Structure 1
Amino acid sequence: MGVKSNVADGEGVLVARNILQAERRDFVDLVPNDRPRAQPMRGFDACYTDIVDYIIRCTHRIWDERDVGLIYTHYTHDCVVYSSTGTTYTREEVVQNTIQRLFMLPERRGMATQVIWSGNEDDGFYTSHLVTGTGRHTQPGIYGKPSGRTYTARTIADCLIHENRIYREWLVVDSMAQVVQIGLDPQVYARDLAHSYFERGLLAVDMGENGRLIGQYPPASEPDLSLAGNEVERETLEWLHDVHNRRMFGRVKRAYAPTVAYHGPLMKELNGHAAITHQIVGLYAAFPDGFFLPQHICSVPSEEGGTKVAVRWIMEGHHLGWGVMDSLGAPTGKRVQVMGMSHFHVKEGRVVEEWTNYDEMSVLMQIKLAQMADKTAIDEIEIPPEA
């Protein structure tokens, strides 16, 4: 039950390990009761049979079975969680945030769509966990008075794990999809979210050039391949660099299969080369100086054929145009950072399916925050008295 994933043993010889995959299995098969341990996992609780079982099962136990206290045995005390709307630095904050969201969205269910991973028991594991969450807004909280409306949104959580504990996490929740579906005004919600940061003195800072262009030089012709661990990962980084940083949008036709399916933010569903190209062009129409920077990549063989590849990335640029993020409106010139994650299913050298997640609400909040800082600066300028 699962695909054979190649893992190096102590002598450097590749040995087969029978690791679970989420895509074609019912939940009860993903959290088995009598399955023997499928890979070495020193320090992990006995109920976990492999790293995929671990991330799916512990997430379910905490969020669906409401055993929030498991966070104390599954996160380090100083775990850092980077999200698209802020960073937390303690385990206790993870506990508090979990309780608040469980109260606000008690009917939410997060279903594992897929898990792409790398690592071993000595170095630690890295997991990229794609979740499709459904629920209903029935209680008060950060979304205001309950609307009773339902929603569906994707989340991708990347975790670094060692001996049963997550010590670093990157979290991209498509909160814009949730906000829109439950009937809130995105502009008002983003303004209120920005104001909470503004009151704490967290102001947006425009740092100028972002690294894509240095002075008058063109973009680098070659990507940084140091993150890659195999040929599929190297090829993925190469075409991502060509398309996103060199703006060679025509490369889409070679990198993607003609029948590619794209699952994007706001539960967007697209198909084919033209739609994929338009989506990418629209991103850089909004941020023409945008710099795409991969931060991590890993991959696993897929029992559906081919390879699943996970890429964590950021895009930095200035809001200088109109593009795919409708809520941003007219260009503001403000600097933003888009935190994103993508999963690619690659067969015979081409992407046949893509899941990409970033939070448009985070970008809108950054713009609102920068505008608040501008207004404060103007208000603080002393106007000399008339002569």
Structure 2
Amino acid sequence: MSQQKVTQLYWKNLPELLSPEGNKVQTLKGFDPEFIDIVDYIIRITHRIWEQKNIGLCVDYYGEYCPVHTLGGYSDDVETVVKNTLKTIGAFPDRSLIGENVIWRDLGEEYGYYSSHRITSIMTNKGPSEFGPATGKTGRVTTIADCICYENKIVYEWLMRDNSFLVKQLGLDVLEAAHHFAQLPDNATFEQWRQNEIKRVKAGEPSEHQWPTKIADNALAIANRWIDQLFNQKSFSHAAELYHLNAKVQWPGGVEAVGIPGIKGVLIRFLSQVPDARATVDHVGVTDFEDKGEDIAIRWSIAGTFHSGDSKLSKFNGQDYFVLASTHLRIIDNKIQQEWTVFDEVAAYANLIKDYQRANADTGVASC
């Protein structure tokens, strides 16, 4: 089935997306017959759960056992999905979700579909959250949810959200929000996963999650070059080969840049705090962007030794630093025209704080 027959989000308004016309264009084995393709499934169930606040529908659309990885925690049961959704909406009751893109991959009949869903949310902080008491302020945040969807249910998820940009708009200091986040109870399964991921990424080993369906050679090559040349080799002269001269990037913390010099600056500033970083490409998906190019979704991880010249952060120097990230690239004429990179800086700092507290538990040294 041609990708161009599958729902594409750009240039479509919400009523059109919520009431698709025409016949089913993908097999969707085991999915409800109302859904015509995997993009339609993702958009409509997200709308029902988050926009219409039908939180109980999580039970219908998530597997009873569904591992969910974030940089700040782990869960693997649908009851926790319901609880966490309620907590988020309780803190941000007017949260709206604008689906900007769904980049998908057919994993084969045995495994279902992989979707990478980029969302912009507008929301007002009316209740206490993991970042602190309610502020009453409104913020905009980008999220990318990577999901494996099988027979009408999400059965695995990696969730990345630009929380540092959100807390800045709420009038909070990022590090103070991280300290508040670090007070949440430890999760032994999450800590074991994080330590295993740090070891894996430092060793340059592939993710355990692999599927047999082929990924387009060109998309895979671009993803591997982007990670290897910029993050592993730190060879920033390659940026001019990877990006168009007027390319635009969006990074965590509300960071934006246009043009090669600015893009190099974003990358260098990030990598300067983890100069020995190694990064791995953990998944690649690609879909057509009309007839003009293609959209590539890269889920990736980076690990290394933290090193900051900031006096507020320098006490964490020498500790392991790990990020779970997702990037959407718009490729025109084999170069990046636009980039959206999302990871949770607040959770990354919170993990540094928790590691510092564990290491100094017997000495009574504080982390703030």
Name the TM-score, length of structure 2 as normaliser: 0.88
Q: Counterpart of 2:52?
A: 65
**Secondary structure of the residue that 2:123 maps to in structure 1?**
strand
Matches within 5 A, 1:144-155: 144-155=132-143
More off after superposition, 252-261 vs 23-32: 23-32
Q: Counterpart of 1:195?
A: 183
Q: Counterpart of 1:259?
A: 246
Deviation at 1:285, TM superposition (A): 0.8
Name the TM-score, length of structure 1 as normaliser: 0.84
Q: 8 Å contact 1:186–1:327 — kept in the other structure? A: no
- Structure number having the greater helix percentage: 2
- Note the alpha carbon deviations across 1:214-238, whole angstroms, 9 max, x for none: 7xxxx99xxxx99971222232113
Query: Which of residues 42, 64, 68 in structure 2 aligns to 1:77?
Result: 64
Deviation at 1:170, TM superposition (A): 0.3
Distance 1:288 1:212, change over 3 A: farther
CA distance in 2, matches of 1:177, 1:315: 20
More off after superposition, 298-307 vs 49-58: 298-307
Is 1:38 paired with 2:25? yes
Distance 1:352 1:304, change over 3 A: farther
Is 1:342 paired with 2:327? yes
Query: Which of residues 210, 221, 225 in structure 2 aligns to 1:235?
Result: 221
Tell me the percent identity.
25
Which amino acid in 2 is paired with 1:261?
K
Q: Counterpart of 1:292?
A: 279
Which amino acid in 2 is paired with 1:140?
P
Gaps of 5+ in 2: none
Deviation at 1:213, TM superposition (A): 7.5
Matches within 5 A, 1:145-294: 145-198=133-186, 229-236=215-222, 237-294=224-281
Which amino acid in 2 is paired with 1:136?
T
Q: 8 Å contact 1:249–1:277 — kept in the other structure? A: yes
Is 1:96 paired with 2:83? yes
Q: Counterpart of 1:370?
A: 355
Deviation at 1:195, TM superposition (A): 2.6
Distance 1:286 1:66, change over 3 A: same
Q: 8 Å contact 1:198–1:372 — kept in the other structure? A: no
CA distance in 1, matches of 2:308, 2:345: 15
Root-mean-square deviation over aligned CA pairs = 2.9
Q: Counterpart of 2:299?
A: 312
The structure having more radius of gyration, on CA atoms, is 1
Distance 1:31 1:322, change over 3 A: farther
Is 1:127 paired with 2:112? no
More off after superposition, 46-55 vs 140-149: 140-149
CA distance in 1, matches of 2:190, 2:292: 47
CA distance in 2, matches of 1:365, 1:187: 8
Is 1:139 paired with 2:127? yes
